[in-house]
Structure 1
Amino acid sequence: MFYEFLSLLCVSALWGLTNPYIKKNSKSIEKIKSESIFIQFFLELKYLMTNFHYLIPMGLNQLGSLLYFITLQNIDLTLSVPLANSLTFIFTAMSGIHLKERRPSKRILFGCAFILIGTGLCCYDKHR
């Protein structure tokens, strides 16, 4: 159970810490314009595939997805989904604060505390 929880923690960290970076480093894609929808698609694809500031966080995010897929073989789905998604929110909030997307408000901190309490209760209930 400990290794599965540790794996889900790593998955959440990989997802949550990379989400704000993916968002930040793909913003200028909106500047790409073309008359043809097909040409625009390929120009956007070229932009993303040549933007290493986007590719590195996206690769780490996909690594988290692969780890999640592997972890699902050994853990109950009713525990893995809430754990991974709720902890991802905490890592995303902390990463966003680090990038100065937003200031750490009381609401965010209370939300994170409640998520940790709920996560602990889920683990306690499944481990009993």
Structure 2
Amino acid sequence: MVSVVELLSLVLVSLLWGCTNPLLKRGTRGIEAVARPSRVAQLLAEFKFLLLNLSYIVPFLLNQSGSVIYYYTLSTTELSLAVPVTNSLTFLCTLITGKLLGEEFGGKYAVAGMFLTTAGLTLCVMSSMDPSNQRKTHV
């Protein structure tokens, strides 16, 4: 059975990942202008660009903090619940945050996809909270 704390942890991870995805994309603007003659110099210049770019590094650190919380939550939560909940909510948060930042919404079926994703996620969570669905251990 999933606890409220585990469920809230998965929601927090989804928010951290989903809301930072469009911000990470936005933070990389201008990296294509970085040009160096060799591959190694190019790699180092791009790394420096990202490391010194606050509009990239702040969302990156928030995103990575979500990964730490996710790793910890996986130790106590069923994998069959954690993965679909986190991935579905991350997808929804990415779409909504992207839209708020002025990105394209994803076509005319995006709302239907969001509704179906939410419905499936709700069923997944409800089934894991139902005490009659618990495995019985035999001694």
**Structures share a fold, TM > 0.5?**
yes
Q: How many residues get paired?
A: 128
RMSD: 1.2
Indicate the percent of aligned positions where both proteins have the same amino acid: 38
Q: Give the number of the structure whose alpha-carbon radius of gyration is greater.
A: 2
Aligned to 2:91: 89
Which blocks of at least 5 consecutive residues in structure 1 are unaligned? none
Aligned to 1:23: 25
1:6 aligned residue (5, 8, 11): 8
Q: Give the drift of 1:106.
A: 4.3
Q: Give the drift of 1:27.
A: 2.5
1:114 aligned residue (105, 116, 120): 116
Q: Which residue identity lines up with residue 66 of structure 1 in the other structure?
A: V
Aligned to 2:133: none
User: 1 or 2, which has the higher helix percentage?
Assistant: 1
Q: Which residue identity lines up with residue 17 of structure 1 in the other structure?
A: C
- 2:95–2:105 contact (8 Å) kept in structure 1: no
TM-score, normalising length: structure 2: 0.88
Greater CA drift, 50-59 or 22-31: 22-31
Q: Give the drift of 1:103.
A: 4.1
Q: Which residue identity lines up with residue 87 of structure 1 in the other structure?
A: L
TM-score, normalising length: structure 1: 0.95
